[in-house]
Chains A and B, each alone.
Chain A
Amino acid sequence: MLPVLQIRNLSLSYNGNTALTSVDVVIPSRAMVSVVGPNGAGKSTLFKVLAGLLNPNAGEVLVGGEPLRHRLERVAYVPQRQEIDWRFPVTLMDVVLMGRYGRLGWLRRPGRTDRAVARHWLAQLGLDHLVDRQIGELSGGQQQRVFLARALAQEPDILLLDEPFAGVDVPTQEAVLSLLANLGDQNITVLVSTHDLPMATSRFAYLMLLNRRLIAFGPPAEVLTPSALSATFGEKMLIYPGEEGFMAMVDHCCPCPVGAEAISPARTRGSR
């Protein structure tokens, strides 16, 4: 079987700044991958390329052996920060149904199947009792889950979540993590960017260390070496030889202000 996602020699720079250099990695089908790196490591840029929102200067991305641009409908993407108007008159159901629009094509309306798929994912994320609420009436964690439900309603092969846990409450984080763990059974490959190295190593089968270039990719136990960590985090990290191997401390601060701002009460207040 072909690997679901091949990234070949990918480079991208904008406004004279290099965001990614020669990233070359093959991601196996149904893998659950965390992408970890400091701020400005190019995690969001990589995801935007994979979602077809940015064009690389060099290299290519293959999905199931074919160029990404022919397979964009197989990729679902949840950005770090939703740049939407939370007062917009749409319900949860409306938002999740939008995930079906790519399959419907022009002029056609969502039908019974589309509603069933939407309702299924809303239920999986514990939102089925809120389907008729207007999106601004939800809490931050619930809003994050709506957009995950929408991405899953696209029935993608590849799911990209950019910093999904920034500023999100613990129950939501747990609900999302346990849902992600089961997506492999449904042939979905999951890529999640995060600053949280402990969570990345304990809850994900694969770890990708990124700092403009690919530092390492593989199971966390193989990837986590002192040299790989210091190449990823540089001076932001302290490595310490301990009794049971080595100890590393990483400053994984702080994507929160941006993500938290998007879901703060101040922005949703007007909707009630």
Chain B
Amino acid sequence: MNTAVDLFLSPFAYSFMQRGMVASVIVGVLCAVVGCYVVLRGMAFLGDALAHAILPGVAVAYLFQSDLLLGALAAAILAALLIGLFSRREQVREDTAIGIVFAAALALGVALMSTIKSYSIDLTHVLFGNVLGVGERDLWLIGGLGALVLTTIVLLYKEFLIASFDPVLGATLRLPIGFLRNLMLIMLALTVVISLQTVGVGLVAAMLVTPAATASLLTRRLPSMMIVAAAIGALSALSGLYLSFYVNVASGAAVVLITTLFFMAAYLFAPGKGLAWQLTQKKRDSKRVAASEEETAG
């Protein structure tokens, strides 16, 4: 009994572990909630692109020895607005615009990073996160920005809902659809930046997409989808950190693998939408058809 409690509590003996846990849970929840819109609006590729677009911002901040998160933030917002700008003139398809900005930013980031001496270590941290290096100041920033994003999403719930579900209705109601779209991109950029330290740019797309996609299999309304996604995100973040503590694997990867397990489980067994459910339903249907055919034959 005692050992089981110890198993849960012993990681908390270290303050860096405590901060890592709190940061991971915040990021898990935030990514999941914002991820609901990412999944519903088909912006998964955009989320991934934004994450990589952060890299040059981080590199520039590093070179000038200013705050890495601020550099990342500036780069992400710039990239989000650039993609919006490119795709607005319908000359270039949005996914093409994203592909161009994405690759260019990544190349620029790597080029800038390679001028730095301790290049490979820092690049690894940016790409895959460094959850145990979350300082007290970082935690405040993560908490503050996270609260800002979540509050915005709750307050503008119905505006974001219309802009995502039916922009034509939004336009007839005179909602500023373009503004809401850009605001959503900025929310996404903030979320990606906050996730930088816990899961890194390489894996943030998974945190955005996987819990939300899992929740979409289990729910039928947006509010419940967000709540279920947030729970999955938080649970995965916690259990991923435990896993990395005891098995000694990279924490970001562990978190993402656990969300993937959740998704697989929902994909197979979700009531109504799961594979197993649909297969048994098909079997039941064909039995019913066979029975009624027998009846008419007899």
Binds B, one of A19-27, A83-91, A163-171, A231-239: A83-91
Binds B, one of A104-112, A183-191, A193-201: A104-112
Whether the Cβ atoms of A101 and B173 lie closer than 8 Å is yes
**In the complex, how many residues of chain B place their beta carbon closer than 8 angstroms to a beta carbon of chain A?**
26
Q: Using an 8 Å CB-CB cutoff, how does the interface string of A63-100 with B read, 1 for contact, 0 for none?
A: 00000000011011101001111001111001000100
Residues of A within 8 A of B (CB): 51-53, 72-73, 75-77, 79, 82-85, 88-91, 94, 98, 101-102, 104, 106-107, 109-110, 134, 150, 272
Q: Which residues of the partner chain B approach A102 to less than 8 Å between Cβ atoms?
A: 173-174
- Contacts A85-B40, A89-B219, A89-B222 given: A52-B171 contact, CB under 8 Å? yes
| Residue in A72, A83, A109 whose CB lies within 8 Å of B172 | A72
Determine the main DSSP class of A at the interface with B. loop
**Does B265 lie at the interface of the complex (its beta carbon under 8 Å from any beta carbon of A)?**
no
Nearest CB in chain A: distance from B214 CB, A:
13
**Does B294 lie at the interface of the complex (its beta carbon under 8 Å from any beta carbon of A)?**
no
Q: Which residues of the partner chain A approach B159 to less than 8 Å between Cβ atoms?
A: 101, 106
Whether the Cβ atoms of A85 and B165 lie closer than 8 Å is yes
**Closest 3 CB pairs between A and B?**
A102-B173, A134-B220, A51-B172
Q: Which residues of the partner chain B approach A272 to less than 8 Å between Cβ atoms?
A: 272-273
Q: Which residues of the partner chain A approach B173 to less than 8 Å between Cβ atoms?
A: 72-73, 101-102
Q: What are 16 inter-chain pairs, A to B, with CB distance below 8 A?
A: A52-B174, A72-B173, A73-B173, A76-B172, A83-B168, A88-B40, A88-B165, A89-B40, A89-B221, A89-B225, A90-B222, A107-B155, A107-B156, A110-B158, A150-B169, A272-B272
Q: Which residues of the partner chain B approach A101 to less than 8 Å between Cβ atoms?
A: 158-159, 162, 173, 175
Q: Which residues of the partner chain B approach A72 to less than 8 Å between Cβ atoms?
A: 172-174
Whether the Cβ atoms of A75 and B165 lie closer than 8 Å is no
**Does B166 lie at the interface of the complex (its beta carbon under 8 Å from any beta carbon of A)?**
yes
> What residue of chain A has the Cβ atom nearest to residue B225's Cβ?
A89
Q: Which residues of the partner chain A approach B198 to less than 8 Å between Cβ atoms?
A: none
- Contacts A104-B158, A109-B158 given: A90-B171 contact, CB under 8 Å? no
Q: In the docked arrangement, what's the CA distance between A102 and B158, Å? A: 11
- Contacts A106-B159, A109-B158 given: A89-B216 contact, CB under 8 Å? yes
**Does B161 lie at the interface of the complex (its beta carbon under 8 Å from any beta carbon of A)?**
yes
Whether the Cβ atoms of A98 and B166 lie closer than 8 Å is yes
- Contacts A89-B40, A102-B174 given: A84-B166 contact, CB under 8 Å? yes
